[in-house]
């Protein structure tokens, strides 16, 4: 990139480039050079904003986690249907970049260490989505839309695991949302009111 050309939000530009590389090429091909090339910036730009590549990856995952923590799912309690609310949240939460980030976190020991130091769930991203779903299910239980004896701490990871499998198997195919709705309906069949 020529000197003197202003970058729009460079951190976000690099995060978006990393997401594209992850989805297109996989975690094993994600390097600082691949990210900066994809973003169309000099390699030094990444190191100007981040201490090192693992620092960049840590901030990338933390940025995604921040989005999970501000999800509107909890506020949807009491409106629409429980199945629709959860299906929408799971379809949105397991986009191709999120799936690729989970693989990346699993593959990189230093990244997991730094994320744990930052206070993330034991399995970053998956743990935060699970907590979000459990919180939502608790709210629905409090409103009486889910049985009072429903074990939300078991239902949430069950939903997350089953939905995650739908997306890893289907690679964004159009039937994935309907497959997730089927999973949500089956898992919650005994507790919906």
Per residue in 38-84, pLDDT (tens digit) is 999 998 999 999 999 999 999 999 999 999 989 999 999 999 999 99
Decide if 167 is inside a domain. Answer: yes
Instruction: Return the pLDDT at 175.
Output: 60
Residue 192 has pLDDT above 60, yes or no: yes
pLDDT digits (tens, 9 = 90+) for 66-79: 999 899 999 999 99
Decide if 164 is inside a domain. Answer: yes
Contact between 135 and 146 under an 8 Å Cβ cutoff? The reply is: no
Using pLDDT thresholds of 50, 70 and 90, give the confidence band for residue 174: low
d(CA 119, CA 155): 24
Centroid of chain to Cα 38: 21
30 backbone φψ class: left, alpha, beta (φ>0; ψ -120 to 50): beta
Q: What is the dihedral of CA 102, 108, 110, 116, to 10 degrees?
A: 20
For residue 182, the enclosing domain spans 73-188
Residue 4 has pLDDT above 50, yes or no: no
Instruction: Return the pLDDT at 1.
Output: 43
Instruction: Return the pLDDT at 95.
Output: 86
Decide if 29 is inside a domain. Answer: no
Residue 170 has pLDDT above 60, yes or no: no
Decide if 114 is inside a domain. Answer: yes
Decide if 15 is inside a domain. Answer: no
Decide if 58 is inside a domain. Answer: no
Centroid of chain to Cα 157: 14
Residue 34 has pLDDT above 50, yes or no: yes
Using pLDDT thresholds of 50, 70 and 90, give the confidence band for residue 7: low
Contact between 190 and 184 under an 8 Å Cβ cutoff? The reply is: no
Decide if 55 is inside a domain. Answer: no
Decide if 81 is inside a domain. Answer: yes
Using pLDDT thresholds of 50, 70 and 90, give the confidence band for residue 176: confident
DSSP conformational letter for 71: -
Task: Report, as an integer, the average pLDDT of 106-127.
Answer: 93
Q: What is the number of structural domains in the chain? A: 1
């Amino acid at each position: 990139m020529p000197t003197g050309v202003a970058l729009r939000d460079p951190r976000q530009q690099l995060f978006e480039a990393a997401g594209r590389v992850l989805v297109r090429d996989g975690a094993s091909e994600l390097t600082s050079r691949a990210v900066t090339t994809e973003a169309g910036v000099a390699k030094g730009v990444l190191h100007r904003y981040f201490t090192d590549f693992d620092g960049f990856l840590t901030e990338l995952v933390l940025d995604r986690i921040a989005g999970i923590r501000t999800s509107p799912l909890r506020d949807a309690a009491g409106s629409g249907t429980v199945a629709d609310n959860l299906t929408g949240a799971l379809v949105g939460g397991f986009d191709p970049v999120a799936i690729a980030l989970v693989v990346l976190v699993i593959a990189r020991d230093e990244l997991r260490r730094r994320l744990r130091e930052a206070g993330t769930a034991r399995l970053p991203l998956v743990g935060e989505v699970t907590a979000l779903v459990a919180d939502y299910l608790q709210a629905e239980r409090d409103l009486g839309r889910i049985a009072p004896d429903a074990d939300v701490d078991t239902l949430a990871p069950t939903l997350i695991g089953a939905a995650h499998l739908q997306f890893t198997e289907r690679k964004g195919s159009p039937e994935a949302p309907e497959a997730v709705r089927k999973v949500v309906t089956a898992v919650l069949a005994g507790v919906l009111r």
